[in-house]
Amino acid sequence: MPRGALYSSIMNALTPTPSPPMIDPFGRRISYLRVSVTDRCDFRCVYCMAEDMTFLPKAEVLTLEELDRLCSAFVGLGVKKLRLTGGEPLVRKGIMQLIRNLSRHLQTGALDELTLTTNGSQLGKYARELADCGVKRINVSVDSLDPEKFTRITRWGKLEPVLDGIAAAKAAGIRVKLNTVALKGVNDDEFYRLVEWCGENGHDITFIEVMPMGDIGGENRVDQFFPISLLRSHLAKRWTLKDSSHYSGGPARYVTVEETGQRVGFITPLTHNFCEACNRVRLTCTGTLYMCLGQDDAADLRAPLRQSESDELLLAAIREAIRRKPKGHDFIIDRDHQGPAVERHMSVTGG
Ligand code: SAM
Ligand code: SF4
């Protein structure tokens, strides 16, 4: 068989047959899947994890082949955007093979975007290969540009390799957006500087409010909480912020900074302003599907995945789960609610 024909026949075999799209009970079309490919991480950010974490035994975690099969089933059900996250996605062994395999859905046009959220520690090593796999944009989490403070926040992280990784991604033609969690008394003196640095380097940035997810050891989320409304008015004293029509399909609301031309996004998960347009579901590395970041209801997809080589049971389980997608979340942080609103850490569902 000629090489071209062989390639197309392999592609066809690996491409899911399209079926009717997933529509939830509130009429929202599910087109975005976020997959936490590992719960492990080389950092221990103070708002995300306790320092002494117990991770899942390896046997419970889906293999790379199983992750591929699950993601591909979702692509067949109309998912157009796939985000790999974690834990830290780039510390999972063999991750580049998974990304390379998934990129076949970009080539067939079944998928519009394959992207990642990463802490950037391994980005220097993988940036070129990611670009080669068709990754065009990534989110990199940076909460401080001060090396000492960066290490204080991440406990185990170092700023320099992360900044080098961001530069490598940019050089490889990947657009980088920073994710910054706003932390009272920790990085609230750096908001101007972060926006300025992004302007100088051609990056957008999104500021995120702390969400009450998982036990984080001795840390207190009421103490960490910095309201995004205050952050926005704070930035407006220094920068000219113009409302932007940019809409990522997600919870962020954007402005353009007139002086730099870059976008600044704000995510306020404690408000409900994004639930009605929510188009996403989240898959953990054990194959549990969460239909809402802020609710505990979940569906096990690992059992139907492992029960049969055909995808019939799996597809039925996914459709059944989508029928249970709730209207919105119930996050709340105040002095009367100091425990986590949901027990799992953000690293389980990847944010
Ligand atoms: N390790 C990768 C990273 O840090 O980008 C991907 C996973 S991390 C869980 C995804 C995003 O969630 C990061 O931007 C992180 O800052 C954010 N995050 C983690 N825990 C959070 C929390 N409790 N509240 C708000 N954002 C959180
Ligand atoms: Fe790791 Fe990301 Fe959580 Fe930080 S936010 S501990 S980098 S998973």
pLDDT score for 210: 87
Q: Which CATH number fits the domain that encloses residue 56?
A: 3.20.20.70
pLDDT at 225 (0 to 100) = 87
CB 50 within 8 A of CB 216: yes
Q: What is the mean pLDDT of residues 264-291?
A: 86
Q: Which domain holds residue 136?
A: 22-349
pLDDT at 137: 98
**Residue at 11 is within a domain:** no
User: Average of pLDDT values for 138-156?
Assistant: 98
Mean pLDDT of the chain: 89
Mean pLDDT of 3-22: 60
Query: Is 250 contained in some domain?
Result: yes
Confidence band of 150 (pLDDT split at 50, 70, 90): very high
Binned at pLDDT 50, 70 and 90, residue 8 comes out as very low
Give pLDDT, residue 7.
46
From the list 160, 156, 82, the residue with the least C-alpha distance to 117 is 82
For ligand 1, which residues put their CB under 6 angstroms from it? 41, 47-48, 85-86, 88, 117-119, 141, 179, 181, 208, 210-211, 213, 346-347, 350-351
Using left for φ > 0, alpha for ψ between -120 and 50, and beta otherwise, residue 125 falls in alpha
Q: pLDDT: is 315 or 20 the higher one?
A: 315
On whether residue 256 sits in a domain, the answer given is yes
Domain membership flag for residue 230: yes
Distance, CA of 110 to CA of 160 (rounded, Å):
37
Would residue 198 count as lying in a domain? yes
Quote the percentage of the chain above a pLDDT of 90.
Answer: 72
Q: Print burial letters for 40-70: b (CB count within 10 Å at least 16), e (below 16).
A: bbebbbbbbbbeebeeeeeeebbebebbbbb
pLDDT at 249: 62
Please choose from 216, 347, 349 the residue to mutate so as to test ligand 2's pocket, defined by most ligand atoms within 8 A of CB.
Answer: 347
Residue of 109, 126, 108 whose CA lies nearest to 118:
126
Question: Lowest-confidence range among 120-129, 161-170, 203-212?
Answer: 203-212
Among the bound ligands, the one closest to the CA of 88: 1
pLDDT of 212? 73
Is 3 inside a domain boundary?
no
226 DSSP β-pair partners: none
Q: Establish if 1 belongs to a structural domain.
A: no
Domains identified in the chain, total number: 1
Coil, strand or helix: which one is 316? helix
**Spatial contact of 280 and 82, defined as CB atoms under 8 Å apart:** no
Ligand that lies nearest to the alpha carbon of residue 140, given by its number in the listed order: 1
pLDDT tens digit sequence for 198-227: 999 999 999 999 887 777 776 677 688 899
Within 6 A (CB) of ligand 2 lie 41, 43-45, 48-49, 86-88, 119, 141, 154, 347
